[in-house]
Amino acid sequence: MSIFEDMSNLEIIKLLAPLIIIQFGLVVFTLFRLVKDRVKYLPKWGWALVIVFINLIGPIMYLIIGRERD
């Protein structure tokens, strides 16, 4: 038994829309930062893959450990 069982597709989309927008914004912001920042541990293309394919945790990982601090 799922909590989404009695909901229509439109109701589910309305419920998840804020999370999708936050995730998309975080990915765009992090990729923008990736272009501008110096990185450590992985090459930039590696960090781009982590950011895009590991939802939510990938961008946060980059922001916490992937950037070189000045």
pLDDT score of 6 more than 90: no
Give 32-60 pLDDT, tens digit per residue. 999 999 999 999 999 999 999 998 899 99
pLDDT band at 1 (very low <50, low <70, confident <90, very high): low
Domain boundary assignment for the chain: 25-70
Give 8-30 pLDDT, tens digit per residue. 889 989 999 999 999 999 999 99
> What is residue 1's DSSP assignment?
-
Kindly report whether the global pTM for this prediction surpasses the value 0.85: no
Dump the DSSP string for 3-70.
TTTTS-HHHHHHHHHHHHHHHHHHHHHHHHHHHHS-B-SS-HHHHHHHHHHSTTHHHHHIIIIIBPP-
Instruction: Give the per-residue pLDDT at 20.
Output: 93
- Give just the sign of the alpha carbon dihedral 62, 65, 67, 69: positive
